[in-house]
Amino acid sequence: MAEGAAQSLNPYIDRAVRSPYPENAWLVGSAADIERVFRSESATIVKNSFARWLSTVGSCEECGATRQLQRAHRQDCARPKLVREAAERAGRVGADGMLTVGVKALRVAFLELHRDDAQGRRLRCLCRTCHRAYDRASGASAPSAAPPA
């Protein structure tokens, strides 16, 4: 594969984590609680950080369509799973077993979990129809009415 052809997410992550996140609230709870609270924020982060990436890829990786393109998390790293993992990485477990995590650290850890791994890119560029089919095939029960990331 020619250099650049893989359209790595990494440069977009580098850019996103450099931009300041001035506000820093703290979340306390189980990883599952934190995932629920952070759900819409995590969708926004993916959408904003990888907007340019989506237009760089430019067509659905399944059918070639160029309209209604969306970022689809690879089946083994669905967005809620990455949020829980980021909360565990960036947070501290207290004596009560609850996680305490700063939102700023959570955002950065969540973005970092989008770096390419041995299987390659963690996001696929899919049209709306192929995205739905892809998520259905993975058995991921996306929360109803949640906007796709």
Contacts with Zn ion by CB under 5 A lie at: 60, 62-63, 65, 127, 130
Residue partners of 24: CB distance under 8 A and separation at least 6: 102, 103, 104
> What minimum distance in Å lies between the beta carbon of 80 and Zn ion?
23
Nearer to Zn ion, 104 or 132 (CB): 132
Nearer to Zn ion, 87 or 130 (CB): 130
Written as six digits, the tokens of 28 are: 């306390």
Nearer to Zn ion, 62 or 85 (CB): 62
Closest to 100 (Cα-Cα) out of 42, 35, 30, 37: 30
> What minimum distance in Å lies between the beta carbon of 82 and Zn ion?
23
Q: What's phi and psi for 3, nearest 5 deg?
A: -60, 135
Q: What is the largest CA-CA distance in the chain?
A: 52
> What minimum distance in Å lies between the beta carbon of 62 and Zn ion?
4
Is 136:63 a contact under the CB 8 Å cutoff? no
> What minimum distance in Å lies between the beta carbon of 68 and Zn ion?
9
Q: Identify the DSSP state of 19.
A: S
> What minimum distance in Å lies between the beta carbon of 25 and Zn ion?
38
Nearer to Zn ion, 16 or 127 (CB): 127
Nearer to Zn ion, 31 or 127 (CB): 127
Closest to 97 (Cα-Cα) out of 24, 32, 25, 26: 32
